[in-house]
Structure 1
């Protein structure tokens, strides 16, 4: 008996909690947009479409995307993201769902906020050195404060050995490579190890 009461109370509380957790927007329209994304050919196009739906519903913000881009800067990418137009507006349903029929006075749908544009791709990164060491081949291996490990790929002499807290700049170079600079030292070619 207690189990049945507990399940009943949980079932009553679940819709209220779900209503608070969902962002503004129509769930049916969001689902239809996801269905439209599923029809895209190619994984990059589908992923870009889903990201656009998530941005439009307020579940994916630009700050989170920038943090993830900062963490993955310099890692090899299998393919570049393909820009995808936003999914077409869903058609009005022919027959309302059972839950919609049960409501006496349907609430006016709240318009979803305009989808934010995806952040620009990260082309350069400024960070600090957490640690640095010379490898057996006399090339620097640098760990940044974010935990990324970068390795010098060309042999050049630097003015001074880097220390923890020194500034470290990485920028994309031609042909998918990277150029690094420690403090006021010369620019050298490097690659991300992890």
Structure 2
């Protein structure tokens, strides 16, 4: 699957083709056929000819969308997906990057504890209301036992680690396990 993400007025246009996996040397979105056709139309000086070109290009774009060769995703959906994947050690999912637009990296998320359990060595597993599961990986103690409904903040830390703080107390180092 080959994909390009094009940002336009807060809307992301995900262009996909079966040509192979997304490669770092993939052409810019403006070089993908449906978008290239729109760019070509823009350069036509004669208004009736330009309109006819746009109509044809729009039909091609809508047909490609119906066939799922092109998927339109708005910025909010990309941010929501980025947040839901926060903490997983995934490969570079470049389709969720901005490709020129300002899409800030997710360095922190807020959540609410659904449940929390400690094991025999007093290390905690935190189940958040959004379904995420985080496991403590250090030996630090929490100032109090976390409870259902407690707010948490999880921040990206050094060397690919994360710090989870419960109710603004000092945090513990965690990893995402689910």
Q: In the alignment, is residue 169 of structure 1 matched against residue 153 of structure 2? A: yes
TM-score, scaled relative to structure 2: 0.58
Q: How many residues end up aligned between the 2 structures? A: 126
1:125 correspondence with 2:109: yes
Distance 1:66 1:157, change over 3 A: same
1:38 touches 1:46 (CA, 8 Å); kept in 2? Answer: no
Higher helix share: 1
Q: CA 1:84/1:132 → structure 2, altered by over 3 Å: closer, same or farther?
A: closer
Query: After TM superposition, what 4+ stretches of structure 1 lie above 3 angstroms from structure 2?
Result: 44-50, 79-86
1:78 maps to what in 2? 91
Range 155-164 or range 56-65, more displaced: 56-65
Which structure has the greater CA radius of gyration? 1
Deviations 1:139-178 (A, max 9, x none): 0000111100001111112121111111101011111111
TM-score scaled by length of structure 1: 0.54
Q: Indicate the residue corresponding to 1:59 in structure 2.
A: 72
In the aligned structure 2, how far is the partner of 1:192 from the partner of 1:60? 26
Deviation at 1:64, TM superposition (A): 0.7
Which aligned pairs between 1:155-166 and structure 2 lie closer than 5 A?
A: 155-166=139-150
User: Which segments of 5 or more consecutive residues in structure 2 lack a partner in the other structure?
Assistant: 1-12, 36-60, 62-70
Alignment RMSD: 3.5
Once residues 127 and 48 of structure 1 are traced to their aligned partners in structure 2, the CA distance between those partners, rounded to angstroms, is 38
Select which of 70, 77, 81 maps to 1:68: 81
Structure 1: gaps (5+ residues): 1-29, 87-116
Higher strand share: 2
Residues 73 and 34 of structure 1: CA distance in aligned 2, closer, same or farther (over 3 Å): closer
Q: Distance in 1 between matches of 2:142 and 2:25?
A: 45
Task: Please give the alpha-carbon distance, in whole angstroms, between the structure 1 residues aligned to 2:160 and 2:76.
Answer: 25
